């Protein structure tokens, strides 16, 4: 049997990364990006869909009787209607453990930038404040050490575990937050409320699910230390952009760095974009995962998932 493989958003993986072709009989079609109204048209006749962030709805699935495998070119599958895939007998696979170095490294780059006031001091030099200061240094932005501070991690998967190891190397006291509203998870977890109220740094590394959407709301921000910082390199929906913007404007936290937003790319009226002049806010365009090395691992694993499915031994199965 020959398979028709359609990659709906090929441009989400850098062109300089090798994406080898699978070793079974197939036709491969690439689209750089796909609008919602083009999904069904482009997947008609496809037996395998490769998708990173394009949404695959129940309505679209109902119109694609040939589809047998949806291969996510990412770990997250919240953009797929998994129930509809299951009912239609469609296997869904994803990518795992490919970002255990790249995401933690960016996470700590952002943590260091905020705790050391790097963005603010760089802007001060650009604004000629150092040159006019009359002394060898000045203190317009607070600076805090990581050593001895408390790191609260929400999400205990492979990336969260890697972040914990880096935190320990910096001499931080690491806490894995128990799931919100759930007690009795064991001694490896710190109660969620304690993590919120005592952390100097909170970093998010959990998947986006109904139970984690808006896991940090205004109530949590009001209970956080005023000197605490937040880093989100996981999913935008874990924190509502408008709520985070309000927390920053009201000084409920000392700073935030986000690699993800609720809508990507963001609209011009996103409330966080209006705060980009704040030295304690850093926004990067969903690139925590995107080191060359990590993308190569992703591509190799993606093609392996396709080959294993066709060979009757599907891997990384979500549905």
Query: Which residues belong to the active site?
Result: 235, 264, 286
What is the Cα–Cα distance from 8 to 68, expressed in whole angstroms?
A: 16
Please state the separation of Cα 96 from the chain's center in Å. Answer: 13
What is the Cα–Cα distance from 280 to 114, expressed in whole angstroms?
A: 6
Cβ contact 94:304 at 8 Å: no
**Dihedral, CA atoms, 185, 190, 193, 197, nearest 10 degrees?**
-170
**Dihedral, CA atoms, 59, 61, 63, 69, nearest 10 degrees?**
170
Cβ contact 63:42 at 8 Å: no
Neighbour order of strands in the sheet with 26-30: 26-30, 3-7, 48-51, 69-72, 91-93
Number of helices (H), then strands (E), in the chain: 10, 12
What is the Cα–Cα distance from 29 to 46, expressed in whole angstroms?
A: 9
What is the Cα–Cα distance from 106 to 285, expressed in whole angstroms?
A: 12
What DSSP line would sit under 155-220, residue for residue? --SHHHHHHHHHHHHTT-EEEEEPPTT-----TTEE-HHHHHHH-SEEEE-----TTTTT-B-HHH
């Amino acid at each position: 049997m020959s398979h028709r493989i359609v990659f709906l958003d090929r441009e989400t993986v850098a062109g300089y990364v090798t994406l080898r072709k699978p070793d079974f009989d197939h036709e491969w079609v690439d689209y750089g990006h796909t609008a919602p109204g083009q999904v069904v048209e482009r997947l008609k006749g496809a037996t395998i869909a490769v998708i990173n962030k394009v949404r695959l709805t129940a309505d679209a699935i109902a119109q694609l009787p040939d589809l047998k495998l949806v291969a996510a070119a990412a770990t997250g599958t919240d953009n797929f209607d998994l129930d509809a895939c299951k009912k239609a007998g469609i296997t869904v696979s994803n990518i795992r453990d490919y970002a255990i170095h790249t995401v933690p490294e960016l996470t700590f780059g952002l943590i260091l930038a905020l705790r050391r006031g790097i963005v603010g001091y760089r802007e001060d030099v650009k604004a000629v404040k150092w040159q006019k200061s009359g002394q060898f240094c000045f203190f317009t932005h607070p600076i805090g050490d990581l050593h001895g501070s408390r790191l609260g991690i929400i999400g205990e998967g492979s990336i969260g575990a890697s972040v914990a190891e880096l935190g320990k190397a910096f001499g931080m006291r690491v806490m894995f937050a128990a799931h919100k509203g759930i007690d009795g998870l064991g001694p490896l977890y710190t109660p969620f409320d304690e993590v919120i109220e005592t952390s100097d740094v909170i970093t998010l590394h959990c998947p986006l699910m109904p139970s984690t959407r808006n896991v940090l709301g205004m109530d949590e921000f009001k209970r956080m230390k005023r000197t605490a910082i937040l880093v989100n390199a996981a999913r935008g929906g874990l924190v509502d952009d408008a709520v985070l913007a309000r927390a920053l404007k009201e000084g409920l936290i000392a700073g935030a760095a986000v690699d993800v937003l609720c809508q990507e790319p963001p609209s011009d009226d996103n409330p966080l974009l209006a705060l980009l002049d704040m030295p304690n806010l850093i926004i990067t365009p969903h690139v925590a995962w995107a080191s060359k090395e990590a993308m190569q691992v992703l591509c190799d694993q993606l093609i392996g998932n396709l080959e294993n499915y066709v060979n009757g031994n599907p891997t990384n199965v979500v549905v």
